[in-house]
Amino acid sequence: MVVVAALAALVATLVAVLIPWLPEPASEEMDRIVFTYWFATIICIGIFALVAAVIIEAVWAFRVQPDDDTDGPPIHGHTGLEVAWTVVPAILVIAIGIVSAVVLSKNADAGDNPLQVKVFAQQFAWRFDYEGDVQSDVLVMPVDRAVEFQLESADVIHSLWIPEMGQKQDVVPGVTQEIVITPTRTGSFTLICTELCGLGHSTMRAPVRVLEQRAFAAWLEKQGGEDKGGGGGGAATEPRGSAIFASAGCGGCHTFTPAGTDAQVGPSLDELTDPAMVRQSIVDPNAVVTSGYQGGVMPQTFGETLSDEELDALVNYLTGKEAE
Ligand code: CUA
């Protein structure tokens, strides 16, 4: 029985170790999550080995001999065994619960000086706002510093997940959710929407870059400088149609050759000429639905989330009249 148990434990251990079930961790939170996985997995391997050994031993040792038609002896249970198989699993499950609770609480703790980033999710794009009026379509984070995210959704439920960083949080309209991520290595990752949020769900991704702290500070400063422009208004601050096209996530659903997008959830935006029609289709997408496409798919919130100037710029961009 000991041999069978050792064999079962060996097989289960090989399956756990040799197959890369989890991505290479890139955050403190992911390190803790991986620890929790291994804590539970090791317990499971022990239980599996014990159960497999007892079953195989029972089937083998107590099998019926040829021509043995007698009934087995009546058995009324074994109090000691029953107490053991109740108490031991209870202790193990409570231990897993305690470890998980400690990890959850540590993973929610942003520490003394977290970087604050606001995340806006909308069908089907992400936007990241930093202190000092900096907006970005790319999530840029400094290494070895906790980042505290405030998550908001403009329409339906989305969910933020960077696989290598473990943390995952639903983004619920009307509620501000929080999540903490502390990157531990530099590199490029992908933020994935992991809540089915509509036809463009699978395209709702954003690039993630983790930089050295100095490089991050330089990036933030550069973005701040670019975004500010003259406070008195003027040509320099006019919104760019191409930038709005990108940040509003139009390319998640529509083909538009100048922007290099080829999605086919909604109709192609190539060869649009009528500014009034384009504007109406952005603000009130269900007024006229292109034949062959479904109504009610495109967000109806752009009339509120985009300013008049931004709408003008987007319409000009789509109709090929963007001022150079
Ligand atoms: Cu947003 Cu799926």
Ligand 1 centre to CA of 302 (Å) is: 17
End-to-end CA distance of the chain: 80
- Token readout for 238 is 């006019």
Atom of ligand 1 at shortest distance to CA of 204? 1
CA distance 141 to 212: 9
Cβ 179 vs Cβ 119: under 8 Å: no
Ligand 1 centre to CA of 200 (Å) is: 7
Tens-digit pLDDT profile for residues 148-193: 999 999 999 999 999 999 999 999 999 999 999 999 999 999 999 9
CA distance 246 to 187: 23
Report the alpha-carbon angle 166-160-267, nearest 5.
Answer: 140
Tens-digit pLDDT profile for residues 66-120: 888 888 888 888 999 999 999 999 999 999 999 999 999 999 999 888 999 999 9
pLDDT range class, residue 232, cuts 50, 70, 90? very low
HSE (CB half, 13 Å, CA atoms) of 18?
Answer: 6
Atom of ligand 1 at shortest distance to CA of 156? 1
Sign of CA dihedral 177, 178, 179, 183: positive
User: What is the DSSP pairing of strand 205-211 with strand 187-193?
Assistant: antiparallel
Q: All domains of the chain, ordered by start, with CATH? A: 2-62+78-107 (no CATH), 115-227 (2.60.40.420), 241-318 (1.10.760)
CA distance 116 to 7: 51
Q: How many other C-beta atoms are found inside a 10 Å radius of the C-beta of residue 159?
A: 20
**Does residue 234 have a pLDDT over 80?**
no
Atom of ligand 1 at shortest distance to CA of 193? 2
Q: How many other C-beta atoms are found inside a 10 Å radius of the C-beta of residue 177?
A: 16
165, burial (CB in 10 Å: exposed 0-12, middle 13-18, buried 19+): buried
The pLDDT mean for the chain works out to 88
HSE (CB half, 13 Å, CA atoms) of 157?
Answer: 7
**Does residue 237 have a pLDDT over 80?**
no
**Does residue 229 have a pLDDT over 60?**
no
Predicted pLDDT of residue 231:
39
Q: Which of 47, 61, 41 is nearest to 1 (CA)?
A: 61
Across the strands, what pairs with 171?
Answer: 158
Tens-digit pLDDT profile for residues 119-145: 999 988 999 999 888 999 999 999 999
CA distance 150 to 175: 10
**Is the C-beta atom of 154 inside 6 A of ligand 1?**
no
- Token readout for 276 is 């009034």
CA distance 252 to 262: 9
Question: Nearest residue CA, atom 1 of ligand 1?
Answer: 158
Tens-digit pLDDT profile for residues 21-35: 899 999 999 999 999
CA distance 203 to 192: 9
CA distance 121 to 130: 15
Q: Which of 208, 207, 198 is nearest to 124 (CA)?
A: 198
**Is the C-beta atom of 201 inside 6 A of ligand 1?**
yes
Least confident range of 103-107, 112-116, 231-235, 246-250: 231-235
Ligand 1 centre to CA of 247 (Å) is: 15
Whole-prediction pTM value? 0.70
Average of per-residue pLDDT across 305-318: 85
Predicted pLDDT of residue 159:
97
Predicted pLDDT of residue 180:
97
Q: Which of 148, 182, 147, 146 is nearest to 164 (CA)?
A: 182
Tens-digit pLDDT profile for residues 191-227: 999 999 988 899 999 999 999 999 999 999 888 776 5
